[in-house]
Structure 1
Amino acid sequence: MAIQWYPGHMTAARKKAAETMASTDVVIEVVDARLPEASTNPMVRELRLQRQRPCLKVLNKADLADPDVTQAWLTWYRRQDGMRAVALSCRKPGEVARLPALCRALAPHRADNTKPLRMMIMGIPNVGKSTLMNVLLRRKLAKVGDEPAVTRAQQTSQLDIANWLTDTPGLLWPKIEHASDGLMLAASNAVGRNAMLDEEVAGFLAAVLLARYPQALARRYALAAGALPALDAVAVIEGIARRRGLLLRGGLVDREKAARVLLQDYRDGLLGRISLETPATRSAMLQTSEAPAVAD
């Protein structure tokens, strides 16, 4: 099942973002540190490059991501022209407070303070854009929630005499090209519930955990670590169901409920610091998807 989710309000939001980009100095693009490229909207890149705007890439939720993988992503992003990258958690106001200074370094034409630095926060739904704005403003202005697409309209506010900030609605793009990107976005709660099947998404997540973080499964669900190499994703979900007593009539396991348990535990960080993609896995995925088909 290919995951696609593009509510109607996003078309209007994209048009408004393109208009605001004309008067923006720096784009603050917020992504999920656990899946930085899967949560990077290609439309945001297109809009800012059309206007030749520099980008501060903010890898939010870094406290939930594998720190070694996050460092690899920071190195990867810092090699790109017109971009700086920083990893942080919006739960730590001291880390967020550094952003205006980082943005100002990307816009040297605003160094004389004759005009305020104009920053625009962009990104996909549910990566923490509104929380970031509230922390910077030190007051609750932007509405936040644990479901995607809470923010529906732009909001511009003055941080101080030298800095203005615009928060934009979360934007996805009309067609998610790579199936694994859709599954990572769904696992991380960046798409609406009506766009996915919990069991399919949880199966994808279980496969990633089996391959890269089997100890997280063993620790959280009391699964025998020695048995994990012989299990597949379905067996993991069934094991979670049995451990949690999620049973149907006749003693059959309730895979749907177990899938929701796994997804929520991942989203809440209860599995530990997990990254769903690395620069290496991203490169391998792109090479596979771009490889020409071989005729029989």
Structure 2
Amino acid sequence: MLTLYMEVSLTETQQCCGDVEMLFRRWSVLGLVIPTLLIGACSSTPEKEEISEQPAAELYLESKQRMNTGNYRSAIAHLEALLSRYPFGPHADQVQLDLIYGYYAVSDNAAARAAADRFIRLNPTHKDIDYALYMRGLMSEDEDSNFFQSMFNIDRSDRDPAMVRQAFGDFERLIREYPASKYAPDAARRMIALKNRLARYEVRVAEYYYQREAYVASIGRGKYVVQYMSDTPSVERALELMVESYDKLDMPEAKQDTLAVLKLNYPDNSMVN
């Protein structure tokens, strides 16, 4: 039987309008002007595709063909029609999975998330829950990222990491409940980067408190990084802030204990030399 939901890597043979729109929605910042030349042949508000009355099997096949050629918007139209006309048909579960990917492929994260949430809620024991969790994690991760910040190495770790936490939670659940899933290895790799992002945020908050002389709060954030994110590069800076805060609070014993930990783990740190 044909499998309708697609792998996460996008096909390289996308149509002009879908390809341009997807790239610029994922790689744009507010105020960026898209050159008219690139989108002259593409309508900014494409009309809703009319789907003729067809048997479920034919709609299923047509949506599959459109997905395979990267014609995601047309594929979505066929999938939505199929789900609307045959909500309890033999392909219903597969159509829902394909819609998750289709929406994601055209950067409609709100629709993709709603589709993933609905699938997980309505099919808690389905064999493809791991896929829905993985895709939902990707959506949250994407919403925290910015192409131009990555290109120019701009550190925006001070941003609220709410979406990072959601992505981390979905990937963590995927690995915990479906360790044999083919998506588990990539989810584990992504969790490392997400954890580093969360640790950087905690350190930025600790620095904020330190600069405002809220030393107890700064220590608390530093301890959180050391305790729960000990395998991230941010631990060194967290320990430094703790040392500096204990010094400001005139707590020599706590300062020396923290310096000892810093020296043990980071012997080349300037504070211990």
TM-score (ref. length: structure 2): 0.28
Q: Larger strand proportion, structure 1 or 2?
A: 1
Higher relative contact order (CA 8 A, sep 6+): 1
TM-score (ref. length: structure 1): 0.27
Q: Larger helix proportion, structure 1 or 2?
A: 2
